[in-house]
Amino acid sequence: MEISSLDLTLRRIQQIEQTFGDIGVSSVEEQKNFNGVLQNVMNTQNTPAVSEEERTSFVEDIDYIIKEKADKYNLDESLIKAVIKAESGFNPNAVSKAGASGLMQLMPGTARGLGVEDIFDVEQNIEGGAKYLRGMLDRFDGDKSLALAAYNAGPNAVKRYGGIPPYQETQNYVKRVLSYERNYL
């Protein structure tokens, strides 16, 4: 089945709307971010409104992808959702200053190494992120805090410091993801 440019844009808008709705846009800043992302997509694509049926279908697809990758890599769905929230705020078009991209903020080289051909493809991005997260959990003997620190700062930093690196960003990241995970349970 061939997917048109309009179909892809509609799916992207649906994903943005639903994921922000799922996490509960709770602050003025999150609402501005959501509105800005949605408006940018609509302006650049001249996209018509999305029906509730299309939105529901797309949300079910995203939930299915997360469940499928969680099952495949023996991860909790809540952990994948927590990483996505912390990494991209559920913005599938997010790009960091360092160049990490997509929902799970994969670096281009890491993404290629994980078999991700299109870093902005939701399924490929979640596949790559889940695979990488599973690898970090295995590398650090199932220690979730160390695996998350490695996801954020890199496994070499975790090894070098013998634990969570003394980087404020990484320490806050681990706490934030674990808190989000508890909320998704």
Q: Catalytic residues, which ones? A: 87
Helix (H) or strand (E) holding 168: helix 168-184
Number of neighbours of residue 47 by Cβ within 10 angstroms:
16
Helix (H) or strand (E) holding 164: none
Q: Which 3-state string (H, E, C) describes 16-62?
A: HHHHHHHHCCCCHHHHHHHHHHHHHHHHHHCCCCCCHHHHHHHHHHH
Q: Tokens at residue 3, please?
A: 């997917």
5 Cβ partners below 8 Å, 6+ apart?
A: 45
- Which DSSP state fits 91? -
Helices and strands (H, E) in the chain, number of each type: 9, 0
